[in-house]
Amino acid sequence: MKLSRKNGLRASAIGALVVSGALVLSACGSDNNSEPTKDGGKSASAAASNIKCDGAKGQLLAAGSSAQKNAMDLWVKNFQAACAGVEVNYQAIGSGGGITKFTQGQVALAGSDSALKDEEVAASQKVCKGGKGINLPMVGGPIAIGYKLNGVDNLVLDAPTLAKIFDAKITKWNDEAIARLNPGAKLPASTIQAFHRSDESGTTQNLGKYLSTAAAADWKYDPKTKSWPAPGGQAANGSAGVATAVKGAEGSIGYFELSYATANQISTVAINTGASAPVAATTENASKAVAAAKVKGTGSDLALSLDYATKAEGAYPITLVTYEIACDKGNKADTLPTLKAFLNYTAGEEGQKVLSDAGYAPLPAEIAAKVREIVPTLS
């Protein structure tokens, strides 16, 4: 099977936008890979004309996931254009940093690539007077395993082999386990340079959940941790830092959202899941996995459960969902109108519609409908 994952990533991302029911993110990055809208900014003006401000005023502070930064940039631009005197300040400092700021009462809204843990919900009750923090899904997508290995354009790995690489148990590119998955490939005897995140990250946590589920015998670390747990390897800050490191180092491998591979023209690994063919990291393939997600949260919480061990044909298993985290009750009176208006917009038809211009896909209809029901109840 011939899989093109280097020069064809952009086409795959755009093509996947038409996949029905996909909860997929293809442009989830930093200032370095954000792009203007395809119509030169007209969509922003059109979207702004239909936004309901509903008493929004003043400044709304938010922080967290860098995966949704490009979406946030677009949403903020449109929302501020429609609502005079309103400022939404989103800091893309990583999921862990955003949750910390939220539980410390420094921001009214956090973005996270993983749902709140029990202890984080408990911590949120100190700032959500009479309530707690809840998870509201907005976007999602594939975590690509990027690599740089001259002469090897279509690398295939499975979960156990990937776990051993990131746990420094496999250290050479011509290791028997890698060779077995890549018959005919000219694998060098060089040392593998594995890169991971130095900051707390929902991307790290989602990769850990995948390895803990699909390679339980080889990855013994806590799947809930947002910090890199394994010894060895080299650390870099943020997905942008890991992507830059991989792009610049021969024999390297690392993990980051698909858009970083696209922007940096980094080759990505196809995953042998046990399906009839290895599955490439594309938005279309990730959509097949994420579309089957189940709501595991209760009440107003919409945390989702993903099947990281899926063997479904064409389903890419290493995925994430980005949530907006807010108090269900106990929001500050001065920011509540702006918070609700902003989330009503992002989850609404107008907010979801403009995502296509930034390389994102809208929420599945049933998930979006649930989010839209909950946002007006925030108090």
3-state secondary structure of 313: coil
**Closest to 318 (Cα-Cα) out of 285, 363, 274, 277:** 285
pLDDT band at 140 (very low <50, low <70, confident <90, very high): confident
pLDDT band at 75 (very low <50, low <70, confident <90, very high): very high
pLDDT at 119 over 80: yes
| Residue environment code for 226-260, b if the CB has 16+ CB neighbours within 10 A, otherwise e | bbbbbeebeebebbbbbbbbbbeeebbbbbbbbbb
Q: Average pLDDT, whole number, for the chain?
A: 86
Indicate the helix (H) or strand (E) that contains 205.
helix 202-214
| Cα gap 271→327, rounded to integer Å | 38
The predicted-structure confidence for 166-183, as pLDDT tens digits, reads as follows: 999 999 999 999 999 999
Considering the entire predicted model, what is its pTM?
Answer: 0.75
Q: What is the DSSP pairing of strand 267-268 with strand 252-257?
A: unpaired
For the segment 3-16, the average pLDDT, to the nearest whole number, is 40
Determine the pLDDT at residue 167.
98
pLDDT at 284 over 80: no
pLDDT at 30 over 80: no
For the segment 17-31, the average pLDDT, to the nearest whole number, is 36
Determine the pLDDT at residue 368.
85
3-state secondary structure of 89: strand
For the segment 12-40, the average pLDDT, to the nearest whole number, is 37
3-state secondary structure of 316: coil
Determine the pLDDT at residue 131.
97
Task: Return the structure tokens found at 268.
Answer: 């990505």
Spatial CB neighbours of 377, under 8 Å, sequence gap ≥ 6:
300, 328
pLDDT at 29 over 50: no
The predicted-structure confidence for 306-357, as pLDDT tens digits, reads as follows: 899 999 999 999 988 889 999 999 999 999 999 999 999 999 999 888 765 5
The predicted-structure confidence for 192-230, as pLDDT tens digits, reads as follows: 999 999 998 888 999 999 999 999 999 999 998 999 999
